[in-house]
Amino acid sequence: MKTADCTRLPQSAAMSRMLVWIEEQHFLGFGCPECGWRFNASGAPTGTSFDEMMRHFELERDREFSSHVCADHPRNSRLDGTPLIQALNC
Ligand SMILES: [Zn+2]
């Protein structure tokens, strides 16, 4: 999951918020740059092929990202230090 598949990013990702790849001391994955929300997959991706698993993973990720409320996830950078946030520049 190190490489973001830019061709699959929904056009709507350019809304107000944008999903970003985050590398922190205790977390490596996708998250919200505006708050402390991080995506944790609810389980192993299901599917009969890698493409299908990726599709399910991305669907769940995008759905959870778009439905989270920033105010409910205050950033806790005081504990983790400054997170390294890289925007997905496609
Ligand atoms: Zn947020």
Instruction: For residue range 44-68, list pLDDT tens digits in order.
Output: 778 899 999 999 999 999 999 999 9
Ligand 1 centroid – CA 82 distance (Å) = 16
pLDDT score of 26: 84
Ligand 1 centroid – CA 49 distance (Å) = 31
Cα–Cα distances (Å) from 31 to 12, 24, 58, in that order, read: 16, 11, 13
CB-based contact 15:84 (threshold 8 Å): no
Answer whether 0.75 is exceeded by the pTM: no
Average per-residue pLDDT in the chain? Answer: 78
b vs e for 19-49, b when ≥16 Cβ sit within 10 Å of the residue's Cβ?
A: bbbbebeeeeebbbbebbbbbeeeeebeeee
pLDDT score of 75: 83
Which tokens hold the place of 74?
């205050």
Residue 6 has pLDDT above 50, yes or no: yes
